[in-house]
Amino acid sequence: MERKFGEVILDLQNISLRFGGVKALTDISFNVREHEIRAIIGPNGAGKSSMLNVINGVYHPQEGQILFRGQQRQKMEPHMAATQGIARTFQNIALFKGMSVLDNIMTGRNLMMNSNILQMALYWGAAQREEIAHREKVEEIIDFLEIQSVRKTPVGQLPYGLQKRVELGRALAAEPTMLLLDEPMAGMNVEEKQDMCRFILDVNDQFGTTIVLIEHDMGVVMDISDRVVVLDYGKKIGDGVPEEVRNNEDVISAYLGTSH
Amino acid sequence: MSDTSGQSALDTFPRLLMHHARVRPGRPAMREKEYGIWQTYTWAEVAESVRAIACGLAQLGFRRGDRLAIIGDNRPRLYCSVAACQCLGGIPVMLYQDAVAQEMAYVLQDAEIRFAVVEDQEQVDKMLEIHPEVPFLEHVIYDDPRGLRQYTESMLMALDALQDMGRAHDESQRGFLDAEIGKGASDDVSVMLYTSGTTGKPKGVCQTHGAFISAARGAVEFDHLTEKEDILSYLPMAWVGDHLFSFAQAIVAGFTINCPESGETVMTDLREIGPTYYFAPPRVFEGLLTQVMIRMEDAGAFKRKLFHHFMEVARRCGADLLDGKPVSFGDRVQYALGNLLIYGPLKNVLGMSRIRVAYTAGAAIGPDLFRFYRSIGINLKQLYGQTETCAYVCLQPDGQIKLDSVGKPAPYVEVKLADNGEILVKGPMLLKAYYKRPDATAESINADGYFMTGDAGFFDEDGHLKIIDRAKDVGKLTDGSMFAPNYIENKLKFFQHIKEAVAFGNARDMVTAFINIDLEAVGNWAERRGMPYSGYTDLAQLPAVYELIRDCVEKVNAELAADPMMSASQIRRFLVLHKELDADDGELTRTRKVRRNFISERYAVLIDALYEGRKEQYIETPVKYEDGREGKIAATLRIEEVKTFAPRGERQAA
């Protein structure tokens, strides 16, 4: 199966991030091309989540520049990332536990809702039409993620694996061009992981969404990603297709340790 | 075979379908829940969809007599494909959608399938996996294109594309399909249903249009079904029951079938549709009741008390009210109140508020279970039949319901008993033949044209048929008394804590049993008592669980002791299995019947331990997980003795 990638959509150049005296990221450069699945891996504390937060605009690197769709990014806030078509999920699930699956996914469409609060409160006119249109989109996502049976169940009652799926659903509801997944498979059993892999591949295939993901399960990473970046102590030690990375000496020693 | 109702023109399913499209074009034929909303398809739309599929298939080279495999959940377009295939004089062959690829390979080879219509990527993957073994397979057509965009195999085609092709063809040659439908005859084979293979390889049962139409027509007259019925189609399409209720009867009577959104949403969908006509195997009714009971036990004390009070009222007079028997004024008032407070809301929760007629079949139903549904005012009845008889032999007439019988012979059906008690059946609904198996056909139909069901039974004084067991399973203990394993197992399974049971005793000196606990029911029971357990295997071996099960087994022994024929079959020793018996491991058939021989080989160690009087036995069992990987479950199983009772029936018998 030949996979086709587009232009570079996100280019990170010489990024360095410090928290006081702690160097979280040092001089990291890599890029993400359209439609690809890009994995960021590395041992604990390597700076993976920091990297994702830099992309998302939560952290502002002290050095280096970020080009998104060819434009240099100025200082920005996370919600600006959302308007640019970047959605994400979190390492620790961040859903509204008391709300139903349907409502949780609906919140993902918040940015696209235009009617004013009065109309919404009365559920009248444009607000009603808008709600129906959004609901249609949400139902498509529910169908896509095969969670019809829990549509109206409060999220807090669902097993962990399903909650992760709902979180993916909420990210998808924003119809993102780029999806950031922070350990989408952490804490799952084999079957749930397989399901999640299938959904990630389907999202990538069907919607053409570019995906940047952090993952610990090497099997998963090697199977589904097109290119992999390896971080260790805030430095980039490898970058390339899975086979290259697998055979990279530095990567092997970072993961397995070497005798110095 | 000529038609009894004089409508000789409407003697095949395609003609019936086109008839409905003419006389009731705007009435709903099918509904399907998609994207959270029920979509309706009228008879005219369904007929159009069927025409498009049929013409598309014809263009791909589908010929009269070809077999079309249909694999997937109950989707409207898969039912349309069944009818489309029949329009072309082809034979639809439905496969169980949850079967693994290798199981499907056998049927595809046996039926020499060239064309398959499948639901989705999952089924397409299976077809591609077994393609090397089934060289005849030329075209695989899929309903749902999701995930299949990257597939480049030339044999694949989307059902949408096939229908577009078919529509163009139908417009340019309008007469083609009508001519094809015109060629069909009542005694053409309309469908091939594979038996589940309790014994040996599955066999293809060839049924004609005439057989299924008369079975459907008989039932429609018997229960006065009209075009206004609503039925939920959620049982596997490959099962004769679904084909009779969701296809044959729906097309004969012209009523509406409703396809659930997915396998997991059936309960919600049932509530939303509120069918008027309902069919489910006993385990579905049992599952529903277990859920209700578990939730009641978690309810507040007042609600619990109210529930139990009115259930007692219902037990006393509910079934009699349903049967139209005299009931005292006081009970009538109490029941009406109960209906307002308990039965009505309960029926609503179960999705059974509108039910006029409900049937159960496929296995014996527990008396308590059966009585429960009837007492809250649901007209639940039993029927008896098999794949070879279009699931149509006996039906229970309204108002004459007996718990332990399957009713009277249905219209057009003749039933008699052989000397050994085997039930013999004759009528228009008998199979034409087993596919490519003249030997099996000759074996199952005797010289007088009766089909030998293989079930043993007898008629009671009112002419109701009572089934005891499979004729071949009925064995003897070493002392010569009768041993009917199914009969015993069914009694065990009627307890909510027991999910499955296997009894042994043929040619042995006593009866012993394997028990499978019901994880949901026993798990809940253990939780309420604060007993910790780590999983199925651990729970199954808890001493308290053994006590619970022993209690059930003793009650069964007491019942058996009351029956002079069965008192020798009391269970002496039992063990609780460490894993659930599973169709994926070959221990059950796809219709969840116990595969006796396979189990006695696989668990020979345990059976020996039961008969050698050991206290416990270590066993390792290989298991197959749903994703196809294999693993092992090991455990040391305890074996316990059970109290038996002196035969009480002896005096009356003498």
Tell me which chain A residue has its CA closest to the CA of residue B122: A198
Q: What is the mean pLDDT of residues A137-142?
A: 94
| CA–CA distance, B488 with B505 (Å, rounded to integer) | 11
The helix/strand/coil state of B17 is helix
pLDDT at residue number B325 = 87
Token look-up 């898969």 returns B78
pLDDT at residue number B25 = 95
Could you tell me the two tokens for B181?
Answer: 């439908």
Distance, in angstroms, between B144 CA and closest chain A CA? 11
Under 8 Å between Cβ of B192 and B206:
yes
Out of A144, A151, A190, whose CB is closest to B36? A151
Give the domain-ending residue among A126, A145, A175: A175
Residues of chain A in contact with residue B259, where contact means CB-CB under 8 angstroms, are none
Whether ipTM > 0.90 holds is no
A111 with A61, same domain: the answer is: no
Judged on CB neighbours under 10 Å (0-12, 13-18, 19+), A223 is: exposed
Specify the CATH class of B475-653 in words: alpha beta
Judged on CB neighbours under 10 Å (0-12, 13-18, 19+), B98 is: middle
Interchain CB distance below 8 Å, B35 and A143: yes
pLDDT tens column, B242-267: 999 999 999 999 999 999 998 888 98
Under 8 Å between Cβ of B378 and B352:
yes
**Testing the interface with A: which of B33, B35, B625 to mutate, by most A Cβ within 10 A?**
B35
Under 8 Å between Cβ of B605 and B637:
no
Tell me which chain A residue has its CA closest to the CA of residue B625: A191
Phi, psi dihedral angles at B87 (to 5 degrees): -55, -35
| CA–CA distance, A146 with A164 (Å, rounded to integer) | 13
Under 8 Å between Cβ of B120 and B98:
no
Contacts of A252 (CB under 8 A, 6+ apart): none
We report the CATH number of the domain holding residue A121 as 3.40.50.300
Contacts of B114 (CB under 8 A, 6+ apart): B62, B66, B67, B136, B137, B138, B139
Residues of chain B in contact with residue A146, where contact means CB-CB under 8 angstroms, are 262
Interchain CB distance below 8 Å, B147 and A191: no
Give the domain-ending residue among A136, A151, A175: A175
Domain ranges of chain B: 13-224+234-251, 475-653
A42 with A119, same domain: the answer is: no
Give the domain-ending residue among A150, A175, A200: A175
CA distances in angstroms from A159 to A198, B102, B147, B265, B518, listed in the order given = 19, 32, 26, 17, 21
**What stretch of H or E contains B37?**
strand B37-42
Closest to B83 in 3D by CA, of B215, B177, B157, B9: B177
pLDDT tens column, A144-182: 999 999 999 999 999 888 999 999 999 999 999 999 999
Under 8 Å between Cβ of B238 and B191:
no
Under 8 Å between Cβ of B440 and B403:
no
Under 8 Å between Cβ of B160 and B142:
no
Residues of chain B in contact with residue A206, where contact means CB-CB under 8 angstroms, are 146-147, 149
- Range of the structural domain that residue A139 is part of: 94-175
Among A48-52, A127-131, B212-216, B555-559, whose mean pLDDT is lowest?
A127-131
Closest to A142 in 3D by CA, of A178, A185, A104, A111: A104
Neighbours of B575 (CB within 10 A): 26
A79 with A196, same domain: the answer is: yes
Contacts of B87 (CB under 8 A, 6+ apart): B14, B50, B51, B54, B177, B180, B181, B184
Residues of chain B in contact with residue A148, where contact means CB-CB under 8 angstroms, are 36, 261-262, 264-265
Query: B13-224+234-251: which CATH architecture?
Result: 3-Layer(aba) Sandwich (3.40)
Instruction: Give residue B532's identity as a one-letter amino acid code.
Output: P
pLDDT at residue number B504 = 94
Establish if B150 touches chain A: CB-CB under 8 angstroms.
Answer: yes
At A3, is the pLDDT very low, low, confident or very high (cuts 50, 70, 90)? low
Residues paired with residue B32 on neighbouring β-strands, in sequence order:
B39, B259
Distance, in angstroms, between B230 CA and closest chain A CA? 22
Overall number of domains in chain A: 2
A104 with A230, same domain: the answer is: no
A130 with A22, same domain: the answer is: no
Q: What is the mean pLDDT of each run of 10 residues along chain B (654 residues)?
A: 49 96 96 92 97 96 96 96 97 94 92 96 95 94 90 94 96 92 94 78 93 96 95 95 96 96 89 94 87 87 93 91 89 94 93 94 80 93 93 92 88 89 92 92 92 88 85 84 86 89 92 93 91 90 94 92 81 93 85 86 93 90 77 88 77 37
Q: A 173-202 residues with CB below 8 A of B?
A: 190-191, 194, 198, 202
Neighbours of B638 (CB within 10 A): 16
A72 with A189, same domain: the answer is: yes
A38 with A114, same domain: the answer is: no
Instruction: Give the whole-number percent of chain A exceeding pLDDT 90.
Output: 43
A122 with A60, same domain: the answer is: no
Out of A144, A194, A205, whose CB is closest to B627? A194
Q: Is the pLDDT of residue A42 over 50?
A: yes
pLDDT at residue number A258 = 62
Residues of chain A in contact with residue B147, where contact means CB-CB under 8 angstroms, are 198, 202, 205-206
A6 with A77, same domain: the answer is: yes
Establish if A146 touches chain B: CB-CB under 8 angstroms.
Answer: yes
Helix axes A190-206, A160-173, angle to 10 degrees: 10
Establish if B479 touches chain A: CB-CB under 8 angstroms.
Answer: no
